[in-house]
Amino acid sequence: MIATDTLERLKAILGADGFSEDPQQIAPHLEEWRGRYHGHCALLIRPKCTEELAAVLSLCDQTKTAVVPQGGNTGLVGGQIPFHGEILLSLARMNAIRQIDSQTMSVTVEAGTILAEVQQAAAAVGCYFPLSLASEGSCTIGGNLSTNAGGVNVLRYGNAREQVLGIEAVLANGTVLNMLRSLRKDNTGYDLKHLFIGAEGTLGIITAAVLKLYPKPDQHVTALCAVPGPAAAVHLLHRLNAATGGLITAFEIMPRIGLEFVLRHMQGVRDPLTSPHGWYVLVEAQSGAQIPLRESIETALVSASQEKLVEDAVFADSEAQRLALWRLREDMSEAQKYEGGSIKHDVSVPLSRIPDFLELAEERVRALVPGIRPVPFGHIGDGNLHFNLSVPVGADSAAFLARWEEISRIVHDIVADFGGSISAEHGLGVMKVLEITRYKSSAELGTMALLKRALDPNNILNPGKVLAL
């Protein structure tokens, strides 16, 4: 319960437009996208600038009032949900693109800026911002950086961390760290920005960032390829990267069952190949206009088909066809909802071990739950798979979902045995805050706890997330 005096002092700092106590306005912020987590709070705060947020956090630290930051509420591990009546912090009003510079190839944006708006601003000056997620129309830059978001272009450009030149952040006590530098090289001690990227708002609140821009690609080449299986997909990736000189930006794997879910439940989609296949990869490459990119990929696919690595393929010959191919991949999570309960995993293993991981993990979960329907898909190019499991046909979804921890333990143990990670891009949030203690060393967890206690000694920033303190 937050003291009445504290609430009144917060309201005075924020002004009438800076907060809401309206349950109807707050309600959409209290449930995550797939409905697994539900929270409660009495106050939503919306500061308009960094200085205002600094004053808010200073007061919260003095009064030991907990704060949960939330971006676009697209997270999938409960990290953005206030479970214990904490104050809910939204930076939606801090959404300015402060500066964009096509000479230094950088853009300075506030944390509440929608990812798609950054992409559009970059394109308007002839540049390219490569971070791309299914939720890019609603997720925010602050959320992207706080969770070190991945997405479809990690293979070539890296995840969110690798797009950042500098940040501005507010510490728990209200101290503002202004590190909004656009330098590509700055070797002056600890690179503090990396403490806050991927920390899920537990060490400080990112309020703005300087992001890298890239030359705008003149051409995209996109193809859907049918492959015999995951091993062939891995070999094909190496073949295509060699043929293009490393210009493959996205390489996504999909099983036939996942494609069937999309075709069954999502409107306006169709199977682009004439016959069904067991596995598919969606390949995309980018380059300048002078590079014969499509010809290089076509030649490589002909060679791969002769070696039985590719069974069929279709290229997108227009932007509409490109988007249609991407819908098959992007709609896969949504389509699973219509098939009943789904237990989801966001894992990564070394690329070369993906085929063996999939074989063993599917074997183990099928033995545990006869009839279970594995739907593994995702960013195979960077080793990240969404190892999703749909309820058996005709089985009770609630009973199936009740076994989430039991099934996940089997999957995560296999991931660990293969030298992988139980969270590739979604973070830990509350979902995996205890689970990670089984897989991270005590030295790593202890060092993380030291950082948390040093930067947030009163544990007011997103308590209970990332670390079980």
Residues 83-121: b if buried by 16+ CB within 10 A, e if exposed: beebbbbbbbebbebeebeeeebbbbbbbbbbbbbbbeb
How does residue 36 score in pLDDT terms, banded at 50, 70 and 90? confident
How does residue 215 score in pLDDT terms, banded at 50, 70 and 90? very high
Return the pLDDT at 2. 85
Task: Inform me whether the pLDDT recorded for 166 exceeds 90.
Answer: yes
How does residue 35 score in pLDDT terms, banded at 50, 70 and 90? confident
3-state secondary structure of 461: strand
Question: What's the number of CA atoms in the CB half-sphere (13 Å) around residue 378?
Answer: 25
Q: For residue range 172-191, list pLDDT tens digits in order.
A: 999 999 999 999 999 999 99
Residue spans per domain, the chain: 4-90, 97-215, 219-334, 340-428
* CATH of the domain spanning 340-428, picked from 3.40.50.300, 1.10.10.10, 3.30.70.2740, 3.30.1390.20: 3.30.70.2740
How does residue 123 score in pLDDT terms, banded at 50, 70 and 90? very high
Task: Inform me whether the pLDDT recorded for 458 exceeds 90.
Answer: yes
How does residue 32 score in pLDDT terms, banded at 50, 70 and 90? confident
Task: Inform me whether the pLDDT recorded for 254 exceeds 90.
Answer: yes
Task: Inform me whether the pLDDT recorded for 14 exceeds 80.
Answer: yes
Return the pLDDT at 226. 98
Share of the chain above pLDDT 90, in %: 97
Residues 464 and 433: their CA atoms lie apart, in Å, by 8
Average of per-residue pLDDT across 129-144? 95
Average of per-residue pLDDT across 364-383? 97
φ, ψ (nearest 5 deg) of residue 178: -95, 100
Which residues in 204-354 belong to E strands, given as ranges?
205-212, 214-215, 219-227, 248-255, 279-287, 312-315, 342-343, 346-348
Q: Which residues contact 143 (CB under 8 A, 6 or more apart)?
A: 70, 71, 72, 74, 75, 80, 149
Residues 328 and 393: their CA atoms lie apart, in Å, by 22
Task: Inform me whether the pLDDT recorded for 10 exceeds 90.
Answer: yes
Residues 214 and 227: their CA atoms lie apart, in Å, by 32
Task: Inform me whether the pLDDT recorded for 287 exceeds 90.
Answer: yes
Q: For residue range 306-360, list pLDDT tens digits in order.
A: 999 999 999 999 999 999 999 999 999 999 999 999 999 999 999 999 999 999 9
Q: What is the mean pLDDT of the chain?
A: 96
Element (H, E) at 408: helix 404-417
Domain 219-334 carries which CATH code? 3.30.70.2190
Is residue 37 within 8 Å of 6, Cβ to Cβ?
no
Task: Inform me whether the pLDDT recorded for 232 exceeds 80.
Answer: yes
Residues 45 and 57: their CA atoms lie apart, in Å, by 11
Residues 383 and 415: their CA atoms lie apart, in Å, by 11
Task: Inform me whether the pLDDT recorded for 469 exceeds 90.
Answer: no
Q: Which CATH architecture has domain 4-90?
A: 2-Layer Sandwich (3.30)
Number of CB atoms found within 10 A of residue 20's CB? 16
Given this chain, do its domains 219-334 and 340-428 carry the same CATH topology? yes
The alpha carbons of the chain give a radius of gyration, in whole angstroms, of: 23
Q: For residue range 55-86, list pLDDT tens digits in order.
A: 999 999 999 999 999 999 999 899 999 999 99
Which tokens belong to 229?
Answer: 């299986």
3-state secondary structure of 212: strand
How does residue 205 score in pLDDT terms, banded at 50, 70 and 90? very high
3-state secondary structure of 66: coil
Domain 97-215 carries which CATH code? 3.30.465.10
Task: Inform me whether the pLDDT recorded for 34 exceeds 90.
Answer: no
